[in-house]
């Protein structure tokens, strides 16, 4: 906490308290001394408290980082003194390096503890997922998509995937079945949360995909719910091929540095490669008995084509849409014409 407040003072890592705190965190992370905490009574509660403090610090560092970058950007138009502007840019670079070191140290500590914990409590799971969830699910908490706390939650999911995966998958299965997991504060529509989990670690979602896809055939859910599930699946499929789940863009050096080199797929659509049945399941929804479901399937055609790197896969989608140009339903034919023309105009190959 001292390290976070030290950055807010405007110093560039020259405070003895800040430097000592950071070095202590790095030592603990490197030597994994934090694991001793798991042998103490009440370790589960302490782990939740620690994660809460870390996420709070990340939010604070995100504010400081944004303020420093904003101040520097303002100076570009306000000052003609090149040397003074360069000094301020150097100051920002020192702040950026400091924040990245804090991030690395704390991620090492928390991921080590989560990886060695006897079990993942619902409180800890809510703590992680709550920083990905839309505010409507978590008591008004704003995850500030793309902010440092949100990015830290995504990074933790990736670093501790093996430890968190069973609990996350159980949570997703429950919310997809309309249940509220016992003891969870996360309530409401979970589609955006599931999409953000997928952005962080697509592989974590693969084992639950068959059950989600099979729900599209469940007439008991109603057309509106099936359309909602299909929209989620299509969004996940498209995201799998864009390699942007963790990436941060723009002029913010810190966020770019923290999210560089984190893509799992290198441009390959993981869902298409690991679970090809998903693409077929989506395509079949274009012939669904429900017009509401068909409309959702057609809406994502262009995004699906763009997310696929293989020419054969892309042609498969276009061919399927082309066959629907003769569909018996007039609205389906109209949607097929629009999507077919749009895809052919931008991807004639």
Confidence at residue 90, expressed as pLDDT on a 0 to 100 scale: 45
pLDDT, tens digit (0-9, with 9 covering 90-100), for 216-256 = 888 788 899 899 999 999 998 888 765 444 444 444 445 55
DSSP assignment, residue 166? H
Residue with more model confidence, 210 or 20: 210
Asked whether the beta carbons of 106 and 155 are under 8 A apart, the reply is: no
Confidence at residue 246, expressed as pLDDT on a 0 to 100 scale: 44
Q: What does pTM read for this prediction?
A: 0.71
For the residues 18-36, what does the mean pLDDT come to? 74
Provide the sign of the torsion angle of the four alpha carbons 149, 155, 161, 165, taken in this order: positive
Asked whether residue 87 carries a pLDDT value surpassing 60, the answer given is no
For the residues 298-316, what does the mean pLDDT come to? 87
d(C-alpha 188, C-alpha 243), whole Å: 28
Q: What is the mean pLDDT of the chain?
A: 75
User: Percentage of residues in the chain with pLDDT exceeding 90?
Assistant: 15
Least confident of 20-24, 36-40, 159-163, 297-301: 20-24
Asked whether residue 165 carries a pLDDT value surpassing 90, the answer given is yes
CA distance readout (Å), 303 to 15, 129, 231: 50, 27, 12
């Amino acid at each position: 906490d001292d390290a976070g407040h030290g950055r807010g003072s405007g110093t560039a890592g020259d405070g003895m308290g800040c430097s000592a705190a950071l070095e202590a965190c790095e030592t603990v992370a490197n030597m994994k001394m934090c694991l001793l905490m798991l042998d103490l009574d009440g370790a589960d509660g302490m782990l939740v408290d620690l994660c809460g403090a870390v996420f709070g610090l990340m939010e604070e560092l995100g504010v400081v980082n944004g303020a420093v970058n904003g101040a520097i950007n303002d100076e570009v138009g306000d000052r003609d003194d090149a040397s003074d502007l360069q000094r301020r840019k150097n100051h920002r670079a020192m702040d950026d390096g400091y924040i990245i070191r804090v991030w690395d140290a704390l991620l090492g500590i928390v991921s080590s503890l989560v990886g060695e914990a006897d079990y993942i409590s619902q409180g800890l799971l809510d703590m992680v997922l709550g920083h990905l969830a839309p505010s409507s699910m978590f008591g008004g908490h704003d995850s500030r998509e793309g902010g440092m706390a949100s990015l830290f939650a995504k990074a933790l999911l990736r670093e501790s995937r093996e430890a968190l995966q069973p609990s996350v998958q159980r949570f997703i299965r429950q919310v997809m079945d309309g249940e509220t997991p016992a003891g969870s504060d996360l309530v409401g529509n979970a589609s955006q949360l599931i999409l953000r989990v997928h952005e962080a670690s697509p592989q974590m979602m693969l084992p639950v995909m068959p059950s989600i896809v099979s729900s599209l055939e469940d007439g008991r859910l109603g057309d509106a719910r099936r359309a909602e599930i299909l929209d989620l699946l299509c969004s996940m499929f498209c995201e799998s091929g864009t390699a942007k789940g963790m990436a941060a863009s723009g002029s913010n050096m810190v966020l770019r540095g923290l999210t560089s080199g984190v893509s799992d797929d290198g441009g390959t659509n993981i869902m298409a490669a690991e679970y090809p049945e998903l693409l077929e399941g989506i395509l079949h929804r274009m012939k669904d008995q429900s017009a509401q479901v068909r409309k959702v399937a057609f809406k994502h055609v262009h995004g699906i084509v763009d997310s696929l790197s293989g020419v054969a896969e892309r042609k498969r989608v276009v061919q399927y849409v082309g066959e629907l140009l003769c569909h018996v339903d007039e609205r389906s034919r109209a949607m097929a014409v629009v999507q077919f023309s749009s895809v052919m105009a931008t991807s004639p190959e």
